[in-house]
Amino acid sequence: MNFGFWGNLKKPFFALAPMADVTDFAFREVVSKYSKPDVMFTEFVSCDGLCSNGKEKLMHCLKFTKKQKPIVAQFFGSKPENFYKCAVLAQELGFDGIDINMGCPDKSVLKQKAGAELIKNPDLAKKIIYETKRGAGKLPISVKTRLGYNTDILEEWIPHIFETEPAVLILHCRTKKEMSKTEAKWKRIETAVEIRNKYFSKSKYKTLIVGNGDIKSVKEGLEKAKKYGVDGVMVGRGVFGNPLFFKGEEINLKNKLKIMAEHAKIFEKEFYDRKDGKWIKKFDTMKKHFKSYCSGFKGANFLRQELMKTKSSKEVMILVSKFKYEA
């Protein structure tokens, strides 16, 4: 079993979850600067897209800096041969690991028989893992999935994954049907740990398990890791609007707005092509971040509404500099 960098992490470790149009290069740069987690993931990237003539349009999703390492490339798709090719690419680009998305509930992904659809097709899921391993060389493989598709079939589903011996299993403790609308079922992650321990009882090594779902603080993550026996904790929405999350610190308003403006500046620098005068990734993408940064303080609604009208980082900076708040 190849653990790669995962084997060197102190337990319980913390990971930043892969989230489409959220954990892009700019967001990762900001989080890396202010409270770097033990491991980062890219946004999910289409294997089919990377194996097509449109490859170059997706390569910005796979850009990273040294300070973001260790970093894992997350791929989605349903064709084993394309996972092989993307694993080879991940090696060439210098990633530290590869993650296979087997949990995304997005309709456009499901239509491609990818993401959570793979829960319904364990034979294909295993072929994908094996082909990814074949192309990955020394890079460790992780799989991110859910308790089930429409119903919880944890006991039936995850032994198929363990059969392929990935370095890590990341378990979002909800089904595809539940999306993120119900409370995360961490008790089921404890069951996953028990299944893992039993499955690998005669082996010297065993797949690491990372729990994911509704973690609102580092303290809560540590408590859940201890209570449910996981090796690591993955955090998604809890980091929104708080790049200091992994330091376990509260962020004051002045610093929050300063970082928000810096985030917008990095986004523009990275995704605006000044030669062509075109956005590689629309500035509107930043607006979901503005919603997260601007909440829970006096004047938040007004500032958020004004930020929704902005078209550049300069306009964001002007709004922040003019905003009146209690220091």
What's 39's DSSP letter? B
Give the residue carrying structure tokens 């303290």.
219
Note if the bond before 70 is cis, omega within 30 degrees: yes
Q: How many degrees, rounded to 5, is the angle at CA 221 between CA 217 and CA 224? A: 135
Handedness of CA 67, 72, 76, 79 (dihedral sign): positive
CA-nearest of 135, 127, 173 to 154 is: 173
**For residues 199 and 197, what is the distance between their CA atoms, to the nearest angstrom?**
6
Burial class (CB in 10 A: 0-12, 13-18, 19+), 225: buried
**For residues 261 and 245, what is the distance between their CA atoms, to the nearest angstrom?**
18
Handedness of CA 121, 124, 125, 126 (dihedral sign): positive
Main-chain dihedrals φ then ψ at residue 102, nearest 5 degrees: -125, 35
Identity at 284, one-letter amino acid code: D
Q: Identify the active-site residue in 61, 86, 104, 294.
A: 104
Distances in Å between the alpha carbon of 241 and those of 166, 185, 226, 244, 314?
Answer: 32, 25, 27, 9, 19
**For residues 243 and 245, what is the distance between their CA atoms, to the nearest angstrom?**
5
CA-nearest of 147, 154, 153 to 175 is: 147
Identity at 46, one-letter amino acid code: S
Contact status, residue 143 vs residue 74, Cβ threshold 8 Å: no
Identity at 133, one-letter amino acid code: K
Structure tokens at 307: 């930020």
104 noted as active-site residue: yes
Distance, CA of 295 to chain centre: 23
Which amino acids are annotated catalytic?
A: 104
